[in-house]
């Protein structure tokens, strides 16, 4: 009455074929996430290294200002219009976008 269950004899798969989906996912992850992030980091590093006095920037917190003093770690920004000049000190790494010259005059 009781029949015995036998394991099916499947053909042995190649180990490379079984690892192919994992390798494919890593390749897709590299090209869609890792590579663009490294490119953005390299561009930001170049931006921070090439900052000069009188450059107009936007910081990561959204402050728009003109660089009036710069050293290896900090930037002094002049924010506000010509009557209400305020100086703000931020870390050099906080510079996010370099604006074209004269952009701040258009804002105020």
The domain spanning residue 66 has which CATH number?
A: 2.30.30
pLDDT value at position 99?
Answer: 93
Domain of residue 87: give its range. 52-107
pLDDT value at position 104?
Answer: 83
User: Does the residue 42 lie in any domain?
Assistant: yes
Mode of pairing for the β-strands spanning 95-99 and 86-91 = unpaired
CA distance 100 to 50: 14
Place of tokens 């924010």: 79
Q: Are residues 56 and 103 in the same domain?
A: yes
CA distance 17 to 67: 57
Q: What is the pLDDT along the chain (108 residues), one digit of tens a residue?
A: 666 766 555 555 677 788 899 999 999 999 999 999 999 999 999 999 999 999 999 999 999 999 999 999 999 999 987 788 899 999 999 999 999 988 888 776
CA distance 75 to 89: 6
Q: Are residues 76 and 91 in the same domain?
A: yes
pTM exceeds cut of 0.75:
no
């Amino acid at each position: 009455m009781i029949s015995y269950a036998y394991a099916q004899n499947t053909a042995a798969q190649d180990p490379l074929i079984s690892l192919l989906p994992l390798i494919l996912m890593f390749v897709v992850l590299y090209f869609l996430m890792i590579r663009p992030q490294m490119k953005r980091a390299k561009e930001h590093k170049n931006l921070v290294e090439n900052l000069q006095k009188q450059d107009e920037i936007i910081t990561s917190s959204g402050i728009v200002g003109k660089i009036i003093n710069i050293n290896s770690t900090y930037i002094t920004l002049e924010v506000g219009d010509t009557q209400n000049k305020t100086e703000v000190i931020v870390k050099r790494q906080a510079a996010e976008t370099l604006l074209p010259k004269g952009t701040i005059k258009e804002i105020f």
